[in-house]
């Protein structure tokens, strides 16, 4: 197996001053990528931004190891900030080949107590931030007929988590974003995939026991991200889970289901009578796109 390298490739990694983003940046930088280390600083809830040191330190680390990197301090959560991040890439390195949408914040609180500000703030960074930066990078990738984009989802989005309705909503929305974007990127050699990471960081250090956290190093997530950013990875639409040495694929599937005659009346009781068959997940499939998903309504058998 040949070594995966990123020589000549320009990678933008958002929220790369700490945690997972830092680890992705160091790995890609060590494999020849020119890295834009974006991070606006700030606390885990997104307040108090403006610290330059996280991005600066990671860029310095990449350079000290013989790589190429530039720090960027823009916030992903505004269109202007996102454009600024991509401009940093084009000014320093002339293009963008790889985008890892990783920046994130938490504002955990039960739904009953959640304020609009806590809801909006989390959606702004995770969902709008990924949208704004992707929007700014997209024309460049199309023009160059090359792009590798990785969204960052979460088990909280895929499966739910108490006290995280804002975060779960934003994180699963990124899967929907990927699903449609992959179709638009295909003919331009732009692959769009998603990581569902599990790693110790300031986001998770207070909610998991130490013996678990000791195994959950960000360096056990980044290799999967790097693979999805590589030239040879010619697939789109994967949700890959990675954490503590475990790698897996997550998928939205639909059961084979049950067909009633569409020209006859169907009652709730008819459905109740067939419920066990409807929810039987044996032979469940993922339609490649919405049209195929809807189209199967008309295919009996
Ligand atoms: P972290 O808090 O260590 O790193 C996130 C970085 O994003 C911080 O350095 C922060 O300054 C930066 N950031 C926040 N808002 C920003 C903005 N508006 N613009 C630019 N940078 C901004 O957290 P961690 O754990 O490394 O998280 C990275 C990503 O992985 C996040 O999207 C998070 O939701 C996701 N994730 C992490 C999991 C974990 O187990 N650590 C689990 C599932 C998802």
DSSP annotation string for 73-138:
---TTSHHHHHHHHHHHHHHHS---EEE----------GGG--HHHHHHHHIIIIIHHHHHHHHHH
Distance (angstroms) between ligand 1 centre and the Cα of 25 equals 13
Q: How confident is the model at residue 301 (pLDDT cuts 50, 70, 90)?
A: very low
Q: Give CA–CA dist 74/91, Å, rounded.
A: 15
Catalytic residue list contains 159:
no
84 Cβ inside 6 Å of ligand 1 = no
pLDDT in tens, 142-163: 999 999 999 999 999 999 999 9
pLDDT in tens, 254-286: 999 999 999 999 999 999 999 999 999 999 999
How far from the centroid of its chain's Cα atoms is residue 102's Cα? 6
pLDDT in tens, 220-248: 999 999 999 999 999 999 999 999 999 99
pTM exceeding 0.85 = yes
CATH of 10-250, one of 3.30.365.10, 3.40.50.720, 3.40.50.12370, 3.40.1190.20: 3.40.50.720
pLDDT in tens, 82-111: 999 999 999 999 999 999 999 999 999 999
Rounded mean pLDDT, 115-136: 98
- The count of residues in the chain is 301
Structure tokens, 189: 């050699």
For ligand 1, mutation pick of 19, 55, 80 (most atoms within 8 Å of CB): 19
């Amino acid at each position: 197996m040949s070594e995966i390298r990123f020589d000549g490739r320009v990678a933008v990694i958002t929220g790369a001053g700490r945690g997972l983003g830092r680890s992705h940046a160091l790995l890609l930088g060590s494999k020849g990528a020119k890295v834009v280390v974006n991070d606006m600083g700030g606390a885990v809830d997104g307040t108090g931004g403006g610290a330059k040191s996280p991005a600066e330190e990671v860029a310095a680390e990449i350079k000290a190891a013989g790589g190429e990197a530039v720090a960027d301090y823009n916030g992903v959560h505004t269109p202007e900030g996102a454009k600024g991040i991509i401009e940093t890439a084009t000014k320093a390195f002339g293009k963008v080949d790889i985008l890892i949408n990783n920046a994130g914040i938490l504002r955990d609180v039960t739904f009953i107590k959640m304020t609009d500000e806590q809801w909006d703030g989390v959606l702004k960074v995770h969902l709008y931030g990924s949208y704004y930066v992707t929007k700014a990078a997209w024309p460049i990738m199309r023009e160059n007929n090359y792009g590798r984009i990785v969204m960052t989802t979460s088990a909280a989005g895929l499966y739910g988590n108490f006290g995280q309705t804002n975060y779960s909503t934003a994180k699963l929305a990124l899967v929907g974003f990927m699903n449609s974007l992959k179709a638009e990127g295909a003919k331009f050699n732009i692959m769009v995939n998603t990581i569902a990471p599990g790693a110790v960081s300031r986001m998770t250090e207070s909610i998991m026991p130490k013996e678990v956290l000791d195994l959950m190093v960000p360096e056990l997530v980044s290799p999967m991200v790097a693979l999805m950013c590589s030239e040879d990875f010619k697939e789109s639409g994967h949700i890959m889970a990675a954490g503590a040495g475990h790698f897996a694929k997550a998928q939205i599937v639909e059961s084979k289901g049950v067909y009633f005659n569409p020209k006859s009346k169907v009652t709730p009781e008819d459905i109740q009578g067939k419920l066990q068959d409807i929810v039987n997940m044996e032979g469940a499939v993922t339609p490649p796109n919405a049209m195929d998903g809807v189209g199967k309504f008309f295919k009996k058998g």
